[in-house]
Structure formats: C-alpha cells, structure tokens
Amino acid sequence: MQLFKGKAQIVAANTIGIDGQKEITASHIVIATGSLPAELPFLKRDGQKVVSSDELLKLESIPENMLVVGAGAVGLEWALIYNYLGSKVTVVEIMETIIPGTDQEIAHILKNELIKQNITIHTATAIRNPRIGEKVGLDFKQEDKEWHEDFSKVLLAVAASLTARDCSRKASNSVSMQRDSFRFQKTCRPRCLRFLPAAT
C-alpha cells in the first residue's frame, strides 16, 4: 500500500490529483473524508453551552438538564446515555416522529419506551430565540402551543455535513460538488467510482 499526503481532488473518472502536482489512477475510488456536526442558522456551537457530540465526550461534569436538538439515531443515543448518567433530558424534533424516515410503528414504540425512562420528547416542535447566559434559553412552538425552557447544555444532533468540499474539480464531467454533497454522472456510478459515506 502506498500513502500519499496532500490535498486530493477527483480530476476525472478514475483519476485523483494531489496538490495539483501528481495524478494517480485507480479502477475504484473510495471517498471516506468523514463529516462535521451541522448547525442551525440561528443556533451555533460554542463548545461550552451549545455543543456537538465531540464536546459531550469531554465534559468534566454531568449537566443538570440537557436539550437534544434532533431525534435521529445520534441524538437519541446521547439522550439515553446522559439520561442514564443523571441528566434530565429533553429531545426536540421538528418532524412528526422520532427517527424520521423509519417505520412509524417502530418509531412510536421507541418513543414510548424513551418516555418510560423519563426522557421528555417533543415532536413536530420548533425552537427559536436562543438566549445564552448561565443557561441556554429557548422558545418552543408546537402547533398553537408555545413555551420557554432553560437548559444547562444543548446538543446539536440535527445532521452532519460532508468534509470533502472542493474534493472534485468543476472540470470533471464524472463527479462534481453541489454545496456539501457529491453529484455523480449516471455512467460513472457503476463504472468508475464507489461512494462510501463515512462519519467521524
């Protein structure tokens, strides 16, 4: 196995350019650049009060209460962990069910089990107007119901964004970047490139 260090770009089908100086070819290319935690336009991570899962691993004390924004697999996993550790955990999800996109019956069963473990879950609920001080204050809106709550920590678990920006030159007809995602030509998918998303 050969290791090349540098900034790589997909310059053509089956071809990788490294730092604009060297090109290597391969019958298949695996893209495994990892990901970064996504943020909300109105709520950014500060690493102290508003955190990602990376910062949760470094906490020196268990927060009194915590809001998990996003009821996907990652958000619910951390909700369970910190609930077991003693935090009062609330989960908020803007979609109608937890684990959006999965079987609704399974999601309903899981939601009931989480509630039995004293995890508060608000689905079809939006948050807004963050106020960060000693705690993080947020306004909640669920249909016609509105209320306010304060939290020691807020975990952003809404999604992950690709770290492979500028991985493909615009000149490449086979692969191109659109915002934070790859676009593949149909003829390229089975022939020249295998795409394996990987999260860090």
Q: At 11, phi and psi to the nearest 5?
A: -100, -20
Query: Over the stretch 68-83, which tens digit does the pLDDT of each residue have?
Result: 999 999 999 999 999 9
pLDDT in tens, 91-126: 999 999 999 989 999 999 999 999 999 999 999 999
Quick one: 151 and 184 in the same domain? no
Task: Looking at the structure, tell me whether residues 71 and 149 fall in a common domain.
Answer: yes
CB atoms within 10 A of CB 82: 22
How many percent of the chain have pLDDT more than 70?
A: 78
Task: Judge if 188 and 110 occupy the same domain.
Answer: no
CATH number reported for the structural domain that contains residue 71 in this entry:
3.50.50.60
Q: Are 55 and 101 part of one and the same domain?
A: yes
Q: Are both 88 and 59 inside the same structural domain?
A: yes
Host domain of residue 136: 39-158
* Tally of structural domains, the chain: 2
pTM of model > 0.85: no
